[in-house]
Each structure stands twice: as C-alpha cells, then as structure tokens.
Structure 1
Amino acid sequence: MSVAEPRRIVIFRHAKADWPQVSDHERPLADRGRLDAATTGRKLADTGIALDLALCSTATRTRETWKLAVHELPHRPKTVYEERLYEASPGELIAVLNETPDDAQNVVLIGHNPGAQGLADILAGPSEGDARARMNSRGFPTAAFAVLTFTGSWKTLEPGVATLADYWAPSE
C-alpha cells in the first residue's frame, strides 16, 4: 500500500460496563453493553471499511466489546491487545498509532474515554457533513465510534491532520 492512499482510523469507545466489586481494569460489560457492542459491530460493517488491524486495550470491557463487535464484521482483522491503551491520553494514543506498520491501511482503536474523544477531537482538522456537529452534541458515549481519514505514513499522524469522516453513537 502506498502512503499516498488515504488511511482510516476508527476510534471506538468500549460499550457500557458494569460496576461489580472488581478493579477498574477488570470491569465486565453490562447487559446493555453486550447489546450495544454487537449493534456497533453491525454499524461498523455498514461503513464498508475493511479493517486491517485492531488495537484493543487490555481492559476486560474493551476486550469483551471487541469480541462481540468483530463477529458482526465480514472480515476479522488482526487484533493486538495493547496495555498502553488503558487510561491513555490522546498523546499516548497517537504515539501507539505512530508505531502502526504502513501496510495497515484501516485501523480500529478500541479504548476508553476521555482518551477516545480527546483523540478524535485532536486529530480532526476539517469534518465531512455534520459529523462534527453530531459528535459535539452527543459527546463520545459508550459504544460510539468516529471515523477519521488522513494521507501519509502512520509516523506522520499528528494533531489536525485528519478529517472527521463519520461519527455514530447508539441511542440511549
């Protein structure tokens, strides 16, 4: 793949988690989260984006979200469980994305707020249609995703270089 071809980043916040007496990292999905994760997987499939790589936080709720969402996709991308995505700032998330091999064109990052929303806000320069208005009005609730596009090597990904192409969140 050429670095001149557009790349896509799907920023996907984990689905709704439960609050049992476990550490934050080990929190499982709530019943609603399991339903929303599958719904979001179907919405991702509807975008037609062929994902090459999934970068997923190691937290239980993100792993469960991805496991349910990926079953709805027509193609299962390679998945890497990355400890650095848990509680990561937007800058730390960009650093992880900068390490992505250039043969990956479309990447989904399954993570947490406030990092997920911050990453979408920081990377996006312009936006297509009403994607930014929808994201600004809804925030980045659980199971939401944003699709950003940019051209260049993953090493060149930095604030403001991407276009916010799409945004979706489940109804509450």
Structure 2
Amino acid sequence: MRTLIVLRHAKAAHTTDVTDHDRKLTDRGEQDAERAGAEIRGLGLEPDLVLCSTARRTRRTAQLALPGVETDHQGLIYQGVLEELLELVRQAGPERRTVVLCGHNPGVLDLALSLTGGDFAFPPGAFAVIRTESEWADLSPGDGSLVTHWNPKEH
C-alpha cells in the first residue's frame, strides 16, 4: 500500500512587483500551510519525500507543512502538466511509502481527479490523501482511492 498526498500551495499574494514564480504566501497562507501539516500528521501520515514546485509559494508551503521531510524541487511541477506530474510520482522509488506532491492548480487537481475519479474543490492550501496498491513505477489513472480531502476554507 502506498499513499500519495496531493497538496496545493497555500494562499499567495497577488502583486505586480514580482513574477508569478516569486509570489510569496500571505499571512493566511502561512497559517493554512501550518494547519495542513498538522492535519497530515493528525492522520498519522509520515511522508518520505516531498516533490515540490520550484515556485516560492510552494517551497514555503512545503517548508511550513512538512518541516524536515526530504524535498526534491522540480521545475516541471510549476507547469502542472498531468502526464509530467504522474511521471514524477512514478520515479519516487520503491522504498518510498508516502509521497507528497506540492504544486499548483489545475495540475494538482487534475492529478488527484485522474487517480481517484473523484470530484472535489481544491482551493489554496487543500490536500487530498490517495491510497494505491500500485507500485509508484506502475501508477496509472484510476489506480488510487481517495482516503480524505482537506480544505482550509471548511476547517
């Protein structure tokens, strides 16, 4: 059994003086990222690896939510193409039991829906916990089941 946590970056500031890639989290975003991490730990999940976009807001979200967890920053996650995200997860390695992919919409939502066939909202700071019997290398659309979904707007 493997667990994938798909995490969308927390709420980020919209400013004209920085590039999209360099947007930082708002105060609320910082709080929501910490809350998401507390929720993940509260579920008894201990991630082995975080696959994280190189954008500032995703790096900070991962840092606040999952401090101390090995993090691999991948530029492909910023673009959010479903097949590329799935391929990054496939490369996680068989020793990894719980992997987090921290990225952006619509890519993270597309990944979660593709794996589970579910239908749910994915605002900033939300995450989905997906279980699969597949090895990471063999992961394909429809191979996961949604265990839970957390939305900071609802909690």
Same fold (TM over 0.5): yes
Identity fraction in percent = 40
Equivalents in 2 of 1:32, 1:77: separation in Å? 23
Equivalent pairs, count? 153
RMSD: 1.3
Corresponding position of 1:12: 7
Q: Which of 78, 82, 85 is the aligned partner of 2:74?
A: 82
Tell me the amino acid that sits aligned with residue 11 of structure 2. Answer: K
1:56 aligns with 2:48: no
Equivalents in 2 of 1:149, 1:121: separation in Å? 13
Q: Deviations over 1:11-60 (max 9, x none)?
A: 00000000122111111111110111111111111110111111111100
Unaligned runs of 5+ in 2: none
Q: Which has the larger radius of gyration?
A: 1
1:36 aligns with 2:28: no
Tell me the amino acid that sits aligned with residue 31 of structure 2. Answer: L
Q: Which of 117, 124, 136 is the aligned partner of 1:154?
A: 136
Q: Which of 3, 18, 34 is the aligned partner of 1:22?
A: 18
Q: Deviations over 1:49-74 (max 9, x none)?
A: 11111111110000111111124xxx
TM-score between both structures, scaled by the size of structure 1: 0.85
Contact 2:134 2:143 in 1 (8 A): no
TM-score between both structures, scaled by the size of structure 2: 0.94
Moved beyond 3 Å, runs of 4+: none
Equivalents in 1 of 2:128, 2:82: separation in Å? 14
Give the 3-state SS of the residue equivalent to 1:171 in structure 2: helix
Equivalents in 2 of 1:70, 1:148: separation in Å? 17
Give the 3-state SS of the residue equivalent to 1:66 in structure 2: helix
Unaligned runs of 5+ in 1: 1-5, 126-131
Equivalents in 1 of 2:28, 2:58: separation in Å? 14
